[in-house]
């Protein structure tokens, strides 16, 4: 999937309005890049000389043709040891580093004058954190919401849906009252013109699901909305100009209970 990443965005976590966007080398323009990824496990020795992995070192390796308008932002990030987050998409899925990571920029790394950008982070093996924020530090897959452990949560919120009104979590389902909202945490997705589909299993009547698009100041630009009855309800929309973050919103109706939310590229049901 990484070789097929169409576009990657890197966001400065100190000045979050600084976002550098890189495109796949097949585009053949300044800022075109190739992408690679490696994972190195670290293990400890336990009883009977057995080993057990307890953390992973993730390295995202980018080679890019110099684009002074955008990559200059990353030179400043690297020089000042600032943290970054990363978001990218391919024809059938996403690659996300959603925890603050280290960035190192090597100017004119090789004979073809490409620059090398290394983004690294060390994380737990699997999901980590405290409910309702249990998440993966690095995610590759077809459901953008699955950065979080969305099949469980705290008593009142599914993981990743801890904005908006509280509800009641039973197993993997969230029950919320009529007219109340459960809002997912903002996910970095600063790409324009990308069609996304949000869906969720819903029991009840009149419950709804929205995709909301936010700008760099985390203000709503617009939203796509749908309501439905019992079953899998969904809504599809296209990211408008100025989008930096996206959120999925679940709105309660009569007897509403939700589970297994998803945010995928339009028409994609493939699991990476």
Poorest-pLDDT segment among 50-59, 140-149, 213-222: 50-59
Decide if pLDDT at 228 tops 80: yes
User: What confidence category does residue 270 fall into, taking pLDDT thresholds of 50, 70 and 90?
Assistant: very low
User: Of residues 46 and 15, which shows the higher confidence score?
Assistant: 15
Tell me if 30 sits within 8 A of 113, measured CB to CB: no
User: Of residues 48 and 186, which shows the higher confidence score?
Assistant: 186
User: What confidence category does residue 31 fall into, taking pLDDT thresholds of 50, 70 and 90?
Assistant: low
| pLDDT, tens only, 161-171 | 999 999 999 99
| pLDDT, tens only, 36-46 | 999 998 877 77
Beta-bridged to residue 202, according to DSSP, are: 231, 258
Decide if pLDDT at 68 tops 70: no
**Closest by Cα among 191, 233, 217 to 90:** 191
Query: What letters, b where the CB count within 10 A reaches 16 and e where it falls short, cover 12-49?
Result: beeeeebbbbbbbbeeeeebbbbbebeeeeeeeeeeee
The continuous run of DSSP H or E covering 10 comes out as strand 7-12
The mean predicted confidence, pLDDT, of the chain is 90
Q: Rounded to whole angstroms, how far apart are CA atoms 56 and 43?
A: 9
Residue in this structure with the two tokens 């973050």, named with its chain if needed = 245
Residue in this structure with the two tokens 């077809």, named with its chain if needed = 142
Tell me if 139 sits within 8 A of 146, measured CB to CB: yes
Whole-number pLDDT of residue 239: 98
Whole-number pLDDT of residue 254: 95
Tell me if 189 sits within 8 A of 223, measured CB to CB: no
User: What confidence category does residue 3 fall into, taking pLDDT thresholds of 50, 70 and 90?
Assistant: low
Whole-number pLDDT of residue 272: 33
Decide if pLDDT at 229 tops 90: no
Q: Rounded to whole angstroms, how far apart are CA atoms 130 and 114?
A: 41
Decide if pLDDT at 24 tops 90: no
Tell me if 98 sits within 8 A of 47, measured CB to CB: no
Q: Rounded to whole angstroms, how far apart are CA atoms 13 and 86?
A: 10
| Number of Cβ atoms within 10 Å of the Cβ of 193 | 9
Q: Rounded to whole angstroms, how far apart are CA atoms 272 and 3?
A: 14
User: Percent of the chain beyond pLDDT 90?
Assistant: 74
Instruction: Tell me the H-state helices in 30-148.
Output: 68-79
Q: What is the mean pLDDT of residues 115-144?
A: 93
| Number of Cβ atoms within 10 Å of the Cβ of 218 | 11
Decide if pLDDT at 237 tops 90: yes
Tell me if 107 sits within 8 A of 124, measured CB to CB: no
């Amino acid at each position: 999937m990484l070789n097929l990443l169409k576009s990657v965005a890197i966001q400065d976590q100190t000045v979050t309005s600084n976002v550098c966007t890189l495109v796949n080398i097949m585009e053949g323009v300044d800022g075109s890049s190739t992408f690679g990824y490696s994972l190195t496990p670290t293990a400890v020795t336990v009883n009977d000389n057995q080993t057990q992995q307890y953390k992973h070192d993730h390295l995202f390796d980018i080679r890019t043709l110099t684009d002074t308008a955008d990559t200059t932002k990353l030179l400043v990030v690297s020089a000042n040891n600032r943290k970054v987050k990363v978001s990218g998409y391919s024809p059938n899925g996403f690659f996300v580093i959603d925890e603050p990571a280290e960035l190192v920029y090597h100017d004119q790394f090789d004979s073809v004058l490409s620059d090398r950008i290394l983004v690294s982070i060390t994380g737990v093996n699997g999901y980590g954190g405290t409910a309702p924020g249990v998440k993966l530090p690095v995610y590759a897959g077809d459901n953008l919401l699955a950065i979080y452990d969305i099949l469980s949560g705290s008593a009142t919120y599914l993981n990743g849906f801890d904005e908006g009104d509280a509800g009641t979590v039973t197993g993997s389902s969230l029950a919320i009252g009529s007219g109340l909202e459960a809002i997912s945490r903002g996910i970095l997705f600063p790409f324009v013109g990308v069609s996304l589909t949000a869906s969720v299993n819903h029991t009840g009547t009149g419950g709804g699901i929205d995709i909301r698009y936010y700008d760099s100041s985390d203000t709503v630009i617009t939203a796509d909305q749908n309501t439905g009855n019992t079953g899998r309800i969904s809504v599809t929309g296209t990211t408008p100009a100025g989008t930096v973050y996206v959120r999925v919103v679940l709105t309660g109706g009569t007897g509403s209970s939700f589970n297994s939310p998803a945010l995928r590229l339009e028409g994609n049901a493939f699991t990476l």
